[in-house]
Amino acid sequence: MLRISYEDMVKEFKRVLVKKGFDEKGAEDAASIFAQNSLAGVYSHGLNRFPRVVSYLEKGEINPDNKATCELAMGAFERWNGHRGFGPLNAKIAMDRACELAKQYGIGIVALGDNNHWMRGGSYGWQAADQGCIGICWSNTCPNMPAWGGVDKKIGNNPFIMAIPRSSGNHVVIDCAVSQFSYGKMEDCRLKGQQLPVPGGYDSNGNLTTDPAEIEKTWRVLPMGYWKGSGISIALDIIATVLTNGNSVQTIGTFGDEVGLTQIMIAIDPTKANSVELTDEIVDKIVADVKSSVPVKEGQEVYYPGELETKNILDNRKNGIPVVEEKWNEVLAM
């Protein structure tokens, strides 16, 4: 498999983004976000997603000059507007602000409306944890999943993230869509010629399948936990829309493309109640207990959330980031 250095990936992404209207700093920051996603092994929201975002820039649906601004400040809670700017940069601004509020009040909440796709939601969990904060965040999406018991797309596979800091940097981070698999993950498997490890949706005959291409055709992805994932999706969408007075999943579905999304950033500062050492002790003890699990297959390892990303970063820094040649060549030709 072709492997590309992190630095080369940033360089190519930046080159394209400057051509598409970003200033130098914005292009560097945005390019780094995409490359960091691939570096962490989340290829679906790094290189593989980059061409789609470029197409949105070309259609004028993302304005790289628009930055998120605060519309309402009420102590620990603020409402911000993303003005359809570049989603990842606006989301980063919002989580940084939530962390600032958490350092002041113990908790900070920034409700970000009318933003664009934030790429990998886990980025903002790691961002909060790197600042010593517990991070909780989510985004809604376009309607891309049936509600439980339905056939047509009514709800989003809204990504939900929770991050717990450790002073070592080996944070505990769960980043998941509320579908069994995100569309990005299914695209990644399809491009690699892989089946899903467990059924992720329905084929054109209405049967559960592990074939990502079949699920992409029907758009009938499976909510995680069946009715539970469906209910969580609906609740996340309602809370986000209420707090921002922004766009719901249903409204986003009328836009044609997945733009104008609604996101919530929550940061909690555990040092308001614990020392850093106490928090580390609590997290380390729980993680150690999980790691002591008897694996299903002898010789395998049980991982805590975020552990594989840490391993991927070390490996990909050393050996280069694996890329789908078709996608990499697409970027080189831009």
Distance CA 147, CA 234 (A): 9
Cα–Cα dist 40/306, whole Å: 10
Rg of the Cα atoms in the chain:
20
Helix/strand/coil for 99: helix
Active site residue 83: no
Residue listed under structure tokens 């080369």: 8
Are the C-beta atoms of 67 and 89 separated by less than 8 Å?
A: yes
Q: Mapping DSSP to helix (H, G, I), strand (E, B) and coil, where does residue 164 land?
A: strand
Annotated catalytic residue: which of 45, 83, 117, 171?
45
Would you say 49 and 57 are in contact if contact means Cβ atoms under 8 Å apart? Answer: no
Phi, psi values for residue 27, rounded to 5°:
-65, -40
User: How far is residue 69's CA from residue 301's CA, in Å, rounded to a whole number?
Assistant: 45
Tokens of 316: 């990909």
Give the span between the Cα atoms of 67 and 62, in whole angstroms: 11
Q: Rounded CA gap, 126 and 107, in Å? A: 17
Q: Catalytic site residues?
A: 45
